[in-house]
Amino acid sequence: MSRSLGVRSSIGAVLVCAWLAGCASSGGRRDYTRLVIEGDEIREDGWSTAYEALTHHTELIVFEERIGFEGGDDRSGLGAARQTYTVPLLVVDGDVNQGDMITTLRRIPAEEIVRIRLYYASMVPPEYRRPGAEGGVIEVVTR
C-alpha cells in the first residue's frame, strides 16, 4: 500500500512539474477578455504582432482573411445569435484608411504597440463613426 502511494505521489509530482514547465515555456500566454490590451501584456505573453495577440481575444473570431466581433452587432439586442459576427473597422494611430486589416495587423510588431482597444458597435467614439464602423472598431496605438 505505501509503495503504491509512493508511486502515485511520484507520478503526480512528475505530472505537476511537466504541467508547470509547459506553462513556463509558453511564456504565460493567455486569452484576453478585456477591451483594452496594453502593449506590455502583449510583449510579456510572447506575441510578435498585433495579429497574433488578437487571435487570442475571446470576443473576436479570427479567420485567415478577416476578423469579426463574436455575437454580431451589440445594438441588435440580446436575442442576436452568437453564431453571427460583424467586421470592425481598423484604426491605427487615428488613421482609418488601412486597406487589408489582416495584412496591416501582421505588419505591426509587438515592440511598437502601446495598446489595442476594442469598441463594440454601440461604443464607437464620434471620431470613428462612419460607414464601415457599424461592426465596431479595433484601435491600435503604436509608438
Output 57 or 17, whichever has higher pLDDT. Answer: 57
Q: What is the CA radius of gyration of the chain?
A: 20
Residues 20 and 86 both lie in one domain? no
24-77: pLDDT as tens digits: 444 568 899 999 999 999 999 999 999 999 999 999 998 888 899 876 666 655
Across 89-103, average pLDDT: 92
Residues 71 and 92 both lie in one domain? yes
Output 138 or 79, whichever has higher pLDDT. Answer: 138
Residues 17 and 47 both lie in one domain? no
Does residue 92 carry a pLDDT above 60?
Answer: yes
Residues 2 and 49 both lie in one domain? no
CATH of the domain at 43: 2.170.130.10
Residues 38 and 105 both lie in one domain? yes
Residues 40 and 6 both lie in one domain? no
Does residue 5 carry a pLDDT above 60?
Answer: no
Residues 19 and 72 both lie in one domain? no
Q: Which three cell numbers stand for residue 39?
A: 502593449
Residues 3 and 49 both lie in one domain? no
Classify residue 57 as left (phi > 0), alpha (psi -120 to 50) or beta.
beta
Query: Residue 124 belongs to what domain range?
Result: 31-142
Across 66-93, average pLDDT: 74
Q: What percent of the chain has pLDDT over 90?
A: 54
Give the distance from CA 2 to its chain's centroid: 48
Residues 4 and 40 both lie in one domain? no
Spatial neighbors of 143 by CB under 8 A, at least 6 apart, are 112, 114
**Total domain count for the chain?**
2
Q: How far is 22 from 143, CA to CA, in rounded Å?
A: 32
Does residue 134 carry a pLDDT above 50?
Answer: yes
Does residue 23 carry a pLDDT above 70?
Answer: no
Instruction: Please list the helix, strand and coil fractions of the chain in percent, rounded to the nearest 5, in that order.
Output: 35, 25, 40
Q: How far is 96 from 128, CA to CA, in rounded Å?
A: 8
Through-space distance between the first and last CA atoms of the chain, rounded to whole angstroms: 63
Residues 10 and 73 both lie in one domain? no
The pLDDT, as a whole number, for residue 28 is 63
Q: How far is 135 from 30, CA to CA, in rounded Å?
A: 25
